[in-house]
Amino acid sequence: MNDLAKNLIVWLVLAAVLFSVFSSFSTQQPDDNLGYSDFVVDVQNERVKKVIIEGLIIEGEQRDGTKFRTVLPTIGDEGLMDDLLNYNVEIVAREPQSPSLISQLLVAAFPILLILGIFMFFMRQMQGGGGGKGGPMSFGKSKAKLLTGDQVSTTFADVAGVDEAKEDVSELVEFLSDPSKFQRLGGRIPKGILMVGPPGTGKTLLAKAIAGEAKVPFFSISGSDFVEMFVGVGASRVRDMFEQAKRQAPCIIFIDEIDAVGRHRGGGYGGGNDEREQTLNQLLVEMDGFEGTEGVIVIAATNRPDVLDKALLRPGRFDREVSVGLPDIRGREQILKVHARKVPLDETVELQVLARGTPGFSGADLANLVNEAALFAARGNRRMVAMEEFEKARDKIMMGAERRSLVMSDKEKTNTAYHEAGHAIIGKLVPEHDPVHKVTIIPRGRALGVTQYLPEEDRYSLSRRQIFGQLCSLFGGRIAEELIGGFEGVTTGAQNDIERATQMARNMVTKWGLTQKMGPVLYGEDESQAPGGGNTFYSEDTSREIDQEVRLILDAAYEQAKALLEAHHDVLESMKDALMEYETIDADQVDDLMKRIPVRPPKSWDNDANDASGGDEGSVRGSSASPIGEAVEGV
C-alpha cells in the first residue's frame, strides 16, 4: 500500500469520528413557539385539547387544531397535572430518548482522539510523510530519487559521441534483462561501474540509458546528499538506500559526484572519525554485502578519480572504470544530430562544419550551442534555424556575449584594434599555429576585443614549436601597442596575455621537460596541502634557475614576435583600419590583409553585427575564457 492510500484511510477515519461526534452535539431542538405561562393560561381557559409530555418538552394541540410546543421549567410545576385533568386535557407521556452507548463513548473519547490525531499528524510531517519533503525525523532516510522502468525513457540512441563507453556498459543491459545468460558459465557481472570524465560529457545520461534499455528502476543521488552535520546520518542513508534497492532489484543505483563522499580517508582536518569517513565506510560495507546475483548495480560518476579512496576502487566494489571523455569530430557531429532532432534546420546548416569548428566542446556545450542558435532564430522571428544563428551562438559561447551598450573613446577603440591586429598577425606568421578564425573589437564578455583561433583538427598534444608559437602570439597585442605608442603607451590590456604566457612557460620548465638546462624532471608542488600554497619539492637554487629559464623563454618569444611585427608594420596598419571600419573580420579578410590586397566585404551575418551605432564598446580590458582545444585571445 503506497503512502497516498495510507494517508487517505487515516483522513477518512478521522472525518468519520468527527462527523459522529458533531452529530451527537447537533441534537438541539428548535426554539419554543409558546411560553409556559401562556400554556398554563390556555389550559385553564380550556383551549388545550391534547398534550404530549417527553421529559421537559411539552407538545400539544389546541381545540382549534393549532399545534404548539413549550418547555417545562426545571423547578417543576406540581399543579400542572391537576390542571390538565381538571380541564379535560388528553395526556400522552413518552419515555425520554437517551443517547446510544456508542455516542456516549465517542463524546467521552473525543478529546483524547483529537489529541492523538494532532500528534499523529505532526509525527508524520516530521518523518517526511503526508506528501512532505522530509523533516527532522527523516535524517536517516535515503534521499535517492527513484524512477521506475516506465519512467526512464532515455536509451542508447539518445547518447552519442561516446561509442567506446557504450560498448563497455552494453553488457550490463543484457545482464539486467537476462542474468542467467552469464550465471550459466559462472560469470559475475561487475558490482560497480565508475564513470570518469570531464564535466558535461554525458556520464549521467549514459547511466540513465542503461536503465532505459533494461527497463529497470533507477535510483539517482549525489554524493553530497549523504553527508550531514550529524554523525551517523550519512551511514544510515547509505543503509536505507541499499535496502530500497534490494527490494526493487534488478535495478541501478547512480551516485553522481562520488568524490564528495569517497575521498581518501585520514587526510582531512577532522581526523579519522568524521561524518564523511563513516559514510564512506558504510558504503564500502554495503557494496561488499550484496552479491552480483541480486541484480543491484552501482554506477558512480566523477571528474576527479585521483582523490578517491583506494578501497573504493578495488575489484569487488567498483570493478570497472569507464572513461567518458570529450568527443572527437565524429562524436561531436553525432551529438549535434541528437540535439538537433527537435530543431527545424535550414538547408544551409552543415553539422559536419559545426563539429569541425567546435574542438574541445563537451556534449553539454554542444547542447547549449543548439539551444542558443534556436534562441537567436526565435528573436529574429525565423521559422528555421540557419547557419547564421549557429555562427552567432558559437561566437557567444567561445568569446562571450557582445556588450554593445558600452562606449569607448576613439583612442581606446584604436588601441584595441592595434592590440587585436598584433595577435592575429603573429598568429598567421609563426609556424604550426592554429589558423586565425575571427578578429573583433566588439566587447565580448570581459574583453574589449577578441582574436579567435580555430584548430583544423583535434589535437591531443603540443610540440615545443607549437607552444613557442603560442607564446609569440600572446605577446603580439602588447608589442603592437609598444610599436605605436612607445613603451610609455603600453596599456594594461595585456594582463591576461602575460599571465597565460608566464604559466605556459613555467609548465615548459617544471612539468613538460621542454628545456635542455632543467631537463625532463618534474619540479612540482604538493597540491594536497592546505589552501594558500603548496610545498615545493626543490631548493632555492633550483627555484632561481627555474625563474631564469622561464624568463629566457619569454624574452625569446617576445623578441621574435617583435621582429615579425616590425617587418609587417604596414599590415598592422591595414588590419587596424579594417577593424575600425568593420569591427569584425573573418579568416578570409585576414588572409587578404596578409597578402596586402583589398579586403573583401564581410559575410552577410557579420553585416547584422556591424550595423549598430558606435556606442558599443567598453572601457575595461579583460579576457574571455576558452574551451579546451581552441585559443581565444582577449584584450
Q: Does the annotation mark 257 as catalytic?
A: no
What is the edge-to-edge ordering of all strands in the sheet holding 67-71? Answer: 67-71, 57-62, 48-54, 90-94
The radius of gyration of the chain's CA atoms, rounded to the nearest angstrom, is 41
Question: Are residues 365 and 358 in contact, defined by beta-carbon separation less than 8 angstroms?
Answer: yes
393-397 long-range Cβ contacts below 8 angstroms, 24+ apart: 393/369, 394/354, 394/357, 394/358, 394/369, 395/438, 395/444, 395/452, 396/372, 396/444, 397/365, 397/368, 397/369, 397/372, 397/627
The C-alpha atoms of residue 396 and residue 391 are separated, in whole angstroms, by 9
Q: Give 48's strand partners.
A: 62
Q: Shortest CA distance to 189 belongs to which of 56, 59, 294, 277?
A: 294
Q: Give 455's strand partners.
A: none
Number of other CB atoms surrounding residue 179 within 10 Å: 17
Number of other CB atoms surrounding residue 557 within 10 Å: 24
Question: Are residues 355 and 317 in contact, defined by beta-carbon separation less than 8 angstroms?
Answer: no
The C-alpha atoms of residue 245 and residue 283 are separated, in whole angstroms, by 14
Distances (CA, A) of 205 to 153, 202, 222: 11, 5, 14
**Which position among 213, 257, 402, 420 bears the catalytic label?**
420
Owner of C-alpha cell 550465471: 183
Residue 52, burial from CB neighbour count under 10 angstroms (0-12, 13-18, 19+): middle
Segments of 352-470 assigned E as strands:
436-440, 450-453
DSSP 144: P
The C-alpha atoms of residue 453 and residue 434 are separated, in whole angstroms, by 6
* End-to-end CA gap in the chain: 65
The C-alpha atoms of residue 213 and residue 205 are separated, in whole angstroms, by 12
Q: Give 219's strand partners.
A: 146, 253
User: Quick check: bond before 250 cis, omega within 30?
Assistant: yes
Q: Who contacts 613 (Cβ-Cβ below 8 Å, separation ≥6)?
A: none
Give the relative orientation of helices 569-582 and 540-567 as an angle to the nearest 10 degrees. Answer: 80
The C-alpha atoms of residue 609 and residue 612 are separated, in whole angstroms, by 7
Query: Which residues are annotated as catalytic?
Result: 420
